[in-house]
Structure 1
């Protein structure tokens, strides 16, 4: 829940009534509301401001927030388990300063997730026979066991002749 600066709240008014016989009420949104055209920018801007404000105290988290975040998805990591654990701790602590909590955690190394509650971990597919776990992010499928990304596309008959009409 990100509060909007009071001078800007009148720009987020909604006209509402329960039914056609009720009088119209003017409701004023006081927080960043998802579904508005400006919402992705505002959410991202809040993370950017937080990263800049806390850069000296949380350098790894600030770098990840600035460089590895797309709207509300973050895809980051490190070269060692110690570095990733430090990044994880910094992200949790810096986001907690603004009452944000990360969820949908996943890693290719199980020790990274040992202190993350199961209800905020995230797996899309589990193939027990192959011992694979797949997580989808930013249009990619990430296999946490093999540490690989895959991109899927529709299968097309390449012998079929594609015309201009089909492309348009």
Structure 2
């Protein structure tokens, strides 16, 4: 950071934001390491989320759809103070030898348990608020993948109602939704422009493509797309370059199998 001012500013800005929002606090005592040598292993959680392919297929089985994600989801979830003591951050923004020690008081991005904790909180919120937001219950349980929500309905009115239910339920848990997009401009009319995926999406420009769980989705044409970075032809291709070309395409649904099989047969 001493040689890269922009990198240092980014780090300082992030740390200051955590402190201002109360998501990190200064600690004066050193964390006890006794008996915690396997702590890294103990927070590895095996969990199962909603099926990836199922979310995509169910989503596109609906006529009118929207997509959005939960803004800074992990950082909106507090954890008990006793557990926060094991989420220490060592920080020295200047050239002195003194290193300050902080404890992160929210779910920490990068830990193995973070996705499980976030989804568990979402499901708990859905159970608590289900009587008030019944349609949002199904969305949280079956149409959400980590912080991405993909839902809709068979009519514009139904989709609008589902959208408002989801907004209401998550807002009751202090979660806000951002990066909205839809194949129906009317569904975005009451969403602030700055909360949409991009300002161009207001008019559904044809060249606006949004990445959806690793795929690209064009709202105006309502179609999925793949980005292919063509490598200049080589006189002597190798197995490594062919494998690299195959790996560049993320195709969890197998839609490109008729094309990719050619390269695999060559291998």
TM-score range normalised by the length of the shorter chain: 0.7 to 0.9
Structure 1 distance, partners of 2:184, 2:242, is 45
User: Is 2:132 aligned against 1:57?
Assistant: yes
Query: Paired residue for 1:107, among 160, 166, 182?
Result: 182
Aligned length: 165
User: Is 2:223 aligned against 1:148?
Assistant: yes
Query: Paired residue for 1:9, among 63, 81, 84?
Result: 84
Structure 1 distance, partners of 2:138, 2:198, is 25
Structure 2 distance, partners of 1:164, 1:108, is 40
C-alpha distance 30-131 of structure 1, shift in aligned 2 (>3 A): closer
Structural RMSD (CA): 3.0
Deviation at 1:37, TM superposition (A): 3.6
Q: Secondary structure at the match of 1:14?
A: strand
User: Is 2:158 aligned against 1:45?
Assistant: no
Which ranges of structure 1 fall in alignment gaps of 5 or more residues? none
Structure (1/2) with the larger helix percentage: 2
Which ranges of structure 2 fall in alignment gaps of 5 or more residues? 1-75, 245-267
Match of 2:173 in 1: 98
1:55-91 per-residue CA deviation (whole Å, 9 max, x = no partner) reads: 2321221211121222211121111111111111111
User: Is 2:160 aligned against 1:85?
Assistant: yes
Deviation at 1:166, TM superposition (A): 6.1
Any conservation in 2 of the 1:51–1:62 contact (CA below 8 Å)?
yes
Any conservation in 1 of the 2:211–2:217 contact (CA below 8 Å)?
yes
Structure 2 distance, partners of 1:73, 1:37, is 18
Structure 2 distance, partners of 1:23, 1:162, is 52
Match of 1:137 in 2: 212
